[in-house]
Structure 1
Amino acid sequence: MSAAVPVSPADSGQTAIPKARKNHLSAGFFKFVLCRFLLIIPTVFILVTVVFFVMRATGDPISAAMGGRLTQAELQKRIHAAGYDRPLIVQYWEYLKGLLHGDLGTTLTDNQPVVNILLHYGAATLELAILALIVALIVGIGLGRVAARHRDHAADAGIRCFAILCYATPVFFLGLVLKLVFSVLLDWLPSSGRASLVSELKFSNLNDPTGLYIVDAIQLGDMSVLLDVLKHAILPALALGLLTAGVFVRLVRTNVISTFNTGYIEAARSRGVSEKRLMKKHAWKPSLIPIITVMGMQVAMLLAGAVLTETTFEWKGLGFMLSNYLKARDFVAVQGIVILIALIVSVVNFIVDVVSALVDPRVRY
């Protein structure tokens, strides 16, 4: 009796059952996410260590903040009460233990918990950063696409010059120019603050304010307050957003042009696909990958620029308070604000890495 010969589905007339599609979110992806997440810990730890010892390089914080305003006996009494006369390594260990329990210390100039400062003023900086990023994306991506479509023409040259000016102009100088034009000469927009006094008084009636004035104005349901908040936000958001928009314009233009020169675009063009469709359906999405990657670094630039922007427009956020605490040499408050900014930048870069890995699987390897 002869052995049975296996018959393939094709020979038997049956339809072959396709193999199960490999899951897009593979084990390699989750390993990549875990590694990137764990990198946040040493990054923040190194920065905390550097900030702590640099702040102590000129002596103890109390002498730096209060020196000249207290007698020597009172100064030494405060230094001893705060523990700043102990060995530096002991102070460092105590500071790390406080961080693990969410204690960032107390400000020296106004005797407030640093955590309360971060919670109260952090919302203002977050709101400004979000608005500036919206401006940067709209202006940067929009003009970058136009420049790429009209490569080496007058529109392209003009947009490139605009991008260089945006990137090269100091944010405080751009803020002063915007204030001079739109607040002083034209009198269209307010020159400082986050809202008028009337709106601030209305916000005080809210039971659970978020600190994000746009959200709080929506909670109030008062359109006049919302318009007032938006009018105050336009100039600071423009000044900070245009700084980043200059980077996005050049990045979008370069990557779209580079994608246009790839083989599959040439093949689509040879089949008679219009340039508009090539841009919209074929070249645009691949060119977004480098933009997503760079966005994490631009968030760091936004937060750095927020210090000068908030000072220029008296926008009372973390940047404004950081400037004041630096002038007062309140190193305890400065440490807390810098650590929070470092944590935000680390988390944003982690999110950007994850999004980049989802968009382009090659990032994981």
Structure 2
Amino acid sequence: MTADTVVAGRPSPGVGTAKKKDKKESGLLRYLVVRFLLIIPTIFILVTMVFILMRTTGDPITAALGGRLSADQLAERVAAAGYDRPLFVQYLEYLGNIIRGDFGTTISDNRAVSQVLLTYGAATLELAFYALIVAFIVGIPLGMIAAYYRDKGQDASLRVMAILFYATPVFFAGLLMKLIFSVWLGWLPTNGRASTRSDLLLQALPDKVGIYVIDALRLGNPQVIGDVLVHAILPAITLGLLTAGIFLRLVRANVIGTLSLDYVESARSRGVSEFRLVRKHAYRPALIPIITVIGLQIALLLGGAVLTETTFEWKGLGFQLVQYLQARDFVAVQGIVILLAIIVAITNFVVDIIAALIDPRVRY
């Protein structure tokens, strides 16, 4: 060991620091690799479960068209689609098709399921994004206020509000919102993603993304932009309040926990106001649990989107899922459910990355 790296028989501080840095980097890399590899069995199990559940009613052709075709026509359609083969053979073929991005063809309207997913998936992601913004805007500030007034009347009221946000059925909240803000007050539209005129302009846009607010910005028409945003208000609030209740309680609990730590007590003893303690010292640590549960809330948002989209006729994957369920088109249902599961799995992985970068304790 050279003189540059040894001081009084011990490695220099620079060597120790480098080793710690390498250890942290290797720990982060190992954590991310493990989390990524866990996505594969998760998706595999979900695909298998969905496939088996969809086959419990028989083959998809008979389930969708039984009673509307003769026995010979049904048999011909079943054989042409390959549903008369052993179930294990169908399963292996379906896995191979999914790996290639082929989710099959819908029975009710003869469309490629992958095209249905691309067409309507953007609308669902747009609604989930709006709802997440509402959840942040409502849940985090109210959680901080509840922590500031802990064990007082304001705190009790906000906790009851959080329970109501979470416990109220999404479809009931949506109908109530429509009744108050659309029917009684006439402030907001009752359904759809845009008015008929705006919708036609957006559909005619070449190379459209499918996310209306982005397409409206590309169109450069202020009226269309305003129309799109106005139509999104009620669905976003309805779905966002569901998650806002969870965020409120999480922020409150973590801010209160942070306020009891030694460094906060030290700041309090120096005369720092309680409001400044909440805003300055307890705010950021309280956000870490929020980030770690966002992945789980994405699953909740996508599940709630099914009822929200149906209530507001927001034509996304949730709306289409209900239509295909009513038509007993289990090929389409299977594809939509699997895509939603993949989105949730990938979102959880991204959230794990963000959480590990913010809080090193997550990696170990």
The normalised TM-score by structure 1 is 0.94
Distance 2:68 2:304 in 1: 32
* Residue number in structure 2 paired with 1:90: 89
CA shift, 1:288, in A, is: 1.4
Distance 1:189 1:280 in 2: 35
> How far is 1:138 from its partner?
0.6
Q: Secondary structure at the match of 1:346?
A: helix
The residue number in structure 2 matching 1:122 is 121
| CA–CA separation in structure 2 for the residues paired with 1:18 and 1:211 | 53
Following superposition, the deviation at residue 9 of structure 1 comes to 7.2
Q: Using the TM superposition, give the Cα deviation of residue 280 of structure 1 relative to its aligned residue in structure 2, in angstroms.
A: 2.5
> Corresponding residue for 2:65?
66
State the partner residue of 1:13.
Answer: none
Amino acid at match of 1:23: K
Letter in 1 for 2:106: T
d(CA) in 2 for partners of 1:180 and 1:23? 58
Counterpart CA distance in 2 for 1:111 and 1:81 is: 14
* Aligned position for 1:100: 99
The equivalent of 2:42 in structure 1 is: 43
- Which residue in the other structure is 1:161 paired with? 160
The aligned residue for residue 188 of structure 2 is 189
In 2, Cα distance between equivalents of 1:9 and 1:95: 65
Tell me how far apart the structure 2 counterparts of residues 252 and 261 of structure 1 sit (CA, whole Å).
14
Paired AA for residue 346 in structure 2: V
What is the rounded CA distance, in whole Å, between the counterparts of 2:157 and 2:81 in structure 1?
Answer: 58
Q: Please give the alpha-carbon distance, in whole angstroms, between the structure 2 residues aligned to 1:90 and 1:337.
A: 22
CA distance in 1, matches of 2:75, 2:95: 24
Counterparts in 2 of 1:17 and 1:169: CA distance versus 1, 3 Å: closer
CA separation in 2, counterparts of 1:205 and 1:316? 17
| Distance in 1 (alpha carbons) for counterparts of 2:353 and 2:201 | 41
Q: Deviations over 1:316-356 (max 9, x none)?
A: 00000001111111110011101100000001111111111
Q: Are residues 1:136 and 2:123 paired? A: no
Structure 1: 5+ residue stretches without partners: 1-5, 11-15
Are 1:311 and 2:310 matched, yes or no?
yes
Structure 2 partner of 1:78:
77
Q: What secondary structure sits across from 2:309 in the alignment? A: helix
Alpha carbon RMSD of aligned pairs, Å? Answer: 1.6
Give the residue type in structure 2 aligned to 1:213.
Y
Q: Which residue of 2 aligns with 1:23?
A: 21
Q: Distance in 2 between matches of 1:269 and 1:114?
A: 59
How far does the alpha carbon of each residue in 1:245-283 deviate from its partner, in whole angstroms, 9 at most, with x for none? 011111110110011111221122112222233222321
Distance (whole Å) between structure 2 residues aligned to residue 203 and residue 89 of structure 1: 44
Matches within 5 A, 1:282-321: 282-321=281-320
Structure 1 counterpart of 2:278, one-letter code = M
Which residue number corresponds to residue 222 of structure 1? 221
CA distance in structure 2 between the partners assigned to 1:67 and 1:89 by the alignment: 23
Deviations 1:22-65 (A, max 9, x none): 43851110010010001000000000001001100110000000
**Identity, % of aligned positions:** 62
Pairing of 1:321-332 with structure 2 (within 5 A): 321-332=320-331
| In 1, Cα distance between equivalents of 2:41 and 2:300 | 21
The secondary structure found in structure 2 opposite 1:23 is: helix
Q: Residue by residue, what CA displacement relative to the aligned partner does 1:131-165 show, whole Å, maximum 9, x if unpaired?
A: 00000011000100111111122221221111111
Count of residues paired in the alignment: 354
Shift of 1:357: 1.1
CA shift digits 1:81-112 (9 cap, x unpaired) = 00101100010011111111111100000000
Structure 2 residue runs of 5 or longer lacking an equivalent are none
CA shift in 2, pair 1:250/1:70, >3 Å: same
Between structure 1 and structure 2, the one with the greater Rg is: 1
Shift of 1:17: 7.1
SS of the aligned residue for 1:58 comes to coil
Residue 261 to residue 17, structure 1, CA distance change in 2 (3 Å): closer
Alpha-carbon distance in 2 for matches of 1:65, 1:90: 21
- What SS does the corresponding residue of 1:184 show, helix, strand or coil? helix
State the distance in 1 between where 2:71 and 2:253 align.
62
Q: Take 2:179 and 2:148, find their aligned partners in 1: how far apart are those partners? A: 35
Structure 2 SS opposite 1:84: coil
- Spell out, residue by residue over 1:208-249, the C-alpha distance to the aligned partner (whole angstroms, 9 max, x if none): 111111011111111100111111100000100000101111
Counterpart residue type for residue 223 of structure 1: P
Distance 2:100 2:201 in 1: 35
Partners of 1:26 and 1:271 in 2: CA distance: 38
TM-score for both structures, normalised by structure 2: 0.94
Specify the alignment match of 1:32 in structure 2: 31
Q: Find the counterpart in structure 1 of residue 199 from structure 2.
A: 200
Report the Cα offset of residue 202 of structure 1: 1.1
Give the AA of the match of 1:246: G
